[in-house]
């Protein structure tokens, strides 16, 4: 579900479409040769072992950097999956097949008997040892799905597995985002009949209100240091961008745009700037803007009629949705090069982008024919992948750090 909302669309909370766009883009796809890894000596027995080995294989292929092969591999990974108390363990050894250099020789384990999650842990260890890059398989997604009573938050693995509910508000939830430590989720809920912001602590399972001012309270993003939240509040009239201290509760108003609505703030990796959406250019023309923590904003998208849903990744790239030819394409903007490029554009709508921690992949909502589900996109050109979620409408995926 798209995060962009102004006061006018609050009354119709499920109206998420915009029209018209003509954005200059640079299309760039890079095809890099992939490294090969022999998993023959990675062993596990029983049905759980089958799940474990399949997960490792699929995760490495999904990474875009590595391909498991049986012969002629540049690297090898071995070890036997075994029970360890209430959890699982693999004494994992990774070697360079040509030089015989040992790149990794450690026990990898988890504290529960989940072979799928263990597979994610091992695949990320292999990827890190072979490429030096962080994997995304061990991350989690929070997303919005339908329940019998409304829209609720769910959490799942990066491939869509281990899906479980997080909330039971019995209303509508919107705009979930993770805290920087991966143990908190900021979101908006109508559980009290109004749009209020809540913070869910995953360790305790407890939820407390962050913003319940008069008018609209829309969750935005928690700062990289975990101390502040960027929110959109209409307590003083039209929706404005604020920064709220999560410890003291102090509010700092960032925008002063009379009769204009702001939405969807996302922090820069260093916490010095925020990218957000504003209809300052016209009610039917939401655009992306940048504002520094000390104040002073500038328009980021200068052409096109509608650009929304920004997510500023740790790679310092901004993913966003852009309506082109009647559909939302998924775009990436490089602030350093000031380049926009298309990542996904076809007969469907691509919305709600969220960067994976590997800096290469983006999770997003793909909608077509009144059905929506979650896809994984590769900015280097590998084919889009549909996550293995149950039948239903799924939206607003946000990836843990």
- The model's pLDDT over 240-267, given as tens digits with 9 standing for 90+, comes to 999 999 999 999 999 998 888 999 999 9
Kindly state the DSSP code that residue 88 receives in the 8-state scheme.
E
Average pLDDT, the chain: 91
How big is the CA angle at 201 (ends 197 and 205), to the nearest 5 degrees? 110
Distance between CA atoms of 16 and 187, rounded to whole angstroms? 18
| Surface-to-core class of residue 142, CB atoms within 10 Å of its CB (0-12 exposed, 13-18 middle, 19+ buried) | buried
E runs forming strands in 97-246 = 102-110, 140-147, 150-157, 164-165, 173-178, 184-189, 196-201, 207-211, 217-222, 228-233, 240-245
Angstrom CA distances, 17 to 120, 144, 188, 306, 386, stand at: 36, 18, 20, 10, 22
Distance between CA atoms of 46 and 137, rounded to whole angstroms? 23
Q: Which two tokens stand for residue 208?
A: 């407390």
Q: How many CB atoms lie within 10 A of CB 197?
A: 25
* Predicted structure pTM score: 0.92
Strands 361-368 and 349-355: antiparallel
Angstrom CA distances, 63 to 123, 132, 144, 193, stand at: 9, 13, 25, 42
Contacts for 296 with CB less than 8 Å, ≥ 6 apart: none
What are the pLDDT digits (tens) for 11-65? 333 323 333 333 333 334 343 489 999 999 999 999 999 999 999 999 999 999 9
Kindly state the DSSP code that residue 117 receives in the 8-state scheme.
H
Nearest to 67, CA basis, from 280, 286, 382:
382
All structural domains of the chain: 35-131 (3.40.50.10070), 139-399 (2.120.10.30)
What are the pLDDT digits (tens) for 63-102? 999 999 988 999 999 999 999 999 999 999 999 999 999 9
Strands 307-312 and 318-324: antiparallel
Q: What are phi and psi of 330, to 5 degrees?
A: -100, 130
3-state secondary structure of 62: helix
What are the pLDDT digits (tens) for 272-304? 999 999 998 877 889 999 999 988 899 999 776
């Amino acid at each position: 579900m798209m995060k962009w909302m102004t006061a006018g669309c609050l009354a119709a909370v499920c109206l998420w479409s915009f029209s018209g766009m003509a954005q200059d883009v640079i299309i760039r796809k890079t095809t890099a040769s992939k490294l090969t890894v022999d998993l023959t000596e990675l062993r596990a027995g029983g049905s759980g072992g089958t799940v474990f080995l399949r997960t490792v294989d699929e995760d490495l292929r999904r990474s875009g950097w590595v391909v498991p092969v049986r012969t002629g591999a540049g690297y090898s990974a071995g070890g036997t999956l075994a029970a360890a108390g209430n959890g699982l363990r693999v004494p994992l050894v990774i070697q360079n097949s040509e030089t015989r250099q040992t790149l990794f020789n450690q026990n990898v384990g988890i504290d529960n008997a989940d072979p799928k999650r263990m597979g994610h842990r091992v695949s990320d260890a292999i990827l890190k040892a072979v490429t030096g890059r962080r994997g995304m398989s061990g991350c989690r997604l929070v997303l919005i799905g339908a329940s019998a009573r409304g829209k609720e938050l769910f959490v799942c693995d990066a491939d869509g597995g281990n899906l479980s509910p997080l909330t039971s508000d019995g209303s509508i939830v919107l705009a979930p985002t993770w805290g920087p430590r991966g143990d908190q989720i900021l979101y908006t809920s109508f559980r009290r009949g109004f749009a209020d912001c809540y913070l869910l602590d995953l360790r305790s399972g407890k939820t407390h209100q962050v913003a319940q001012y008069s008018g609209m309270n829309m969750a935005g993003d928690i700062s990289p240091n975990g101390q502040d939240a960027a929110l959109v509040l209409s307590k003083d009239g039209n929706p404005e961008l604020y920064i709220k201290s999560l410890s003291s509760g102090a509010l700092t108003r960032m925008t002063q745009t009379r009769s204009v609505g702001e939405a969807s703030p996302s922090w820069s990796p260093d916490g010095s700037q925020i990218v957000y959406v504003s209809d300052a250019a016209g009610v039917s023309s939401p655009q992306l803007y940048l504002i520094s923590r000390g104040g002073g904003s500038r328009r980021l998208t200068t052409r096109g009629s509608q650009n929304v849903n920004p997510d500023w990744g740790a790679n310092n790239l901004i993913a966003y949705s852009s309506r082109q030819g009647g559909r939302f394409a998924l775009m990436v903007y490089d602030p350093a090069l000031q380049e926009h490029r298309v990542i996904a554009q076809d007969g469907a709508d691509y919305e709600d982008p969220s960067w994976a921690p590997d800096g290469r992949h983006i999770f997003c909502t793909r909608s077509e024919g009144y059905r929506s589900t979650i896809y994984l996109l590769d900015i280097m050109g590998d084919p889009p992948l549909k996550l293995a979620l149950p039948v239903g409408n799924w939206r607003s995926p946000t990836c843990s750090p």
